[in-house]
Amino acid sequence: MEQNYKLTKFSCYYTYLASASVFSLPPMLFSTFREMYNISYTLLGTLVLVNFCTQLAIDLIFSFFAKHFNIRMTIRIMPVLTSLGLAIYAIVPTLFPDVAYLGLVTGTFIFSVAAGLSEVLLSPLIAAIPSKTPERDMSTLHSLYAYGVFSVVLVTSLFIKIFGTENWMFLTLFFVALPIGSAILFRICSIPGLNISNENKGERAKVRNFGLFLCAICIFLGSAAENTMTNWISVYMEKALNISKAIGDIVGIALFAILLGAGRTLYAKYGKNISNVLLAGMIGATVCYLIAGFSNNMIICAVACAFTGFCTSMLWPGTLILMEEKINNPGVVAYALMAAGGDFGASVAPQALGIVVDKVSVSQWGTNMSQMLSINTEQFGIKAGMIFSSVFPILGVAVIIFIKRYFPKQKNTEYTLLPEGDSSEIGK
């Protein structure tokens, strides 16, 4: 059984690694979609919105109806949906270019369902596996996503350099094959029992729920800070800094992903005082966004964008660790609520930046400012979007300061969202 749980842990790690294509590949193709299918920045941002709103819906469904699911079967179906969504994403625009956007939206919706299931189920599954270092396991899980992003960026950049952007659909079909490995692994591994009850009553529960609410707000803002840059760094490098797509993706997305993974790996090995880590990350992300928006130096802007990866590396997994420290035995419902907060931030923030870019680019004020700065209106719009996006980590600083004060006041309160001794099993 111990060996089977090792396989279970490996299955979770591989799935997180493979699912990186769902998040990192589409933004790298935004410029290609704009050129080939004449899709606006607002509609491109809407793809991100569809992605994370779908995940948000899955999170909320599990928050209220987890006990009605055969979760073992759900875990096994999850990677199949990822492959199906990516296949539709590639095939429909290729065969029916007149309805290309419809195909992109449909494929996005399907693989986003799988991504939502992944966020809801993999973290509590890792937490449920017996371990002497649960924090290290959780941080390692999320670090593998970052290294997956790096791998996707490297493969994508080389493919586009060799075969051109017009053949993007063949690249997407290559990534269709990766989740199939997850389906095989989850078919043969053992899955430990998870707490899926949702009993939560009384005055003490109100205090505990407010603590969870604070964590959800924190992960919302941290996810917004991370995913805005993740989804727009490719466009920023190419359009705002005039860096070629291949070099921009490697210097931008790849370096961002390496630093994202490095931050999580360092915490897994040396980390402590997670609330201070979260505060430093929010402050650092704020500085990076402001530099990307205000600086005219190409190198400084590129470094700031990439370093955002290190600053935001622990904002999502770190909030989960904070919740685990302060709320005893949280269970699937708590993880689902946290995933909902993170997915909501990841859906709202990139879409908001896309709207800012489109609005500013066509405004008279944007035209005047771009002429004054000797850049085009599109470049000014993207920089204005970066400045706007700094509001999320700025608010995050305030929330974390409040959290640092709130939890010590409640240190004598037993933060137990779900009753101890409840050993509800998944898959029953």
Q: Is the pLDDT of residue 314 over 90?
A: yes
Do residues 206 and 266 touch, judged by C-beta distance below 8 A? no
Instruction: Please tell me the predicted confidence (pLDDT) of residue 397.
Output: 97
- Phi (first) and psi of residue 416, to 5 degrees: -120, 100
More confident residue, 369 or 415: 369
Residue 396: pLDDT above 90?
yes
17: confidence class by pLDDT, cuts 50, 70, 90: confident
The token pair at 36 is 């080939």
pLDDT at res. 204: 57
Looking at the predicted structure, is the pLDDT value of residue 293 above 90?
A: yes
The residues, ordered by sequence, that sit 6+ positions from 237 with a Cβ below 8 Å of its Cβ are 243, 245, 248, 249, 251, 252, 302, 305
Q: Would you say 224 and 341 are in contact if contact means Cβ atoms under 8 Å apart?
A: no
Lowest-confidence range among 84-88, 228-232, 279-283? Answer: 228-232
- The CATH number of the domain holding residue 60 is 1.20.1250.20
Residue 124 has a pLDDT of 82
Residues in CB range of 404: below 8 A, 6 or more apart: 275, 279
- pLDDT of res. 196: 58
Q: Which residues contact 409 (CB under 8 A, 6 or more apart)?
A: none
Total length of the chain: 428
The reply to whether 265 falls in a domain is yes
Q: How far, in Å, CA of 77 to CA of 382, rounded?
A: 39
In this structure, are residues 322 and 278 in contact, taking their beta carbons and an 8 Å threshold? yes
Whether 417 is covered by a domain: the verdict is no
pLDDT at 225: 96
Say if 282 falls within a structural domain.
yes
Whether pLDDT at 185 is above 70: yes
Is 34 inside a domain boundary?
yes
The residue ranking higher by pLDDT, 88 or 65, is 88
pTM of the model: 0.74
Query: Domain tally for the chain?
Result: 1
- 422 found inside a domain: no
Say if 31 falls within a structural domain: yes
Q: Could you give the percent of the chain with pLDDT greater than 90?
A: 35
Residues 99, 106: Cα–Cα separation, whole Å: 11
Res 413: pLDDT: 43
Q: How far apart are CA 326 and CA 135, in angstroms?
A: 13
Q: Does residue 346 register a pLDDT over 50?
A: yes
On whether residue 348 sits in a domain, the answer given is: yes
Query: Which pLDDT does position 205 carry in this prediction?
Result: 61
Other beta carbons within 10 angstroms of residue 180's beta carbon come to: 14
Alpha-carbon gap, residue 32 to 172, rounded angstroms: 13
The Cα 169–Cα 358 span in angstroms is 27
Residue 283: predicted pLDDT = 98
Kindly report which listed range (10-19, 221-230, 377-386) carries the lowest average pLDDT score: 10-19
Burial 22-53 (b: 16+ CB within 10 A, else e): bbbbbbbbbbbbbeebebebebbbbbbbbbbb
Sign of CA dihedral 11, 12, 16, 17: negative
pLDDT for residue 422: 37
Q: The domain containing residue 88 runs over which residues?
A: 2-192+201-409
Average pLDDT over residues 320-337: 79
In a domain, 428, yes or no: no
Average pLDDT, the chain: 84
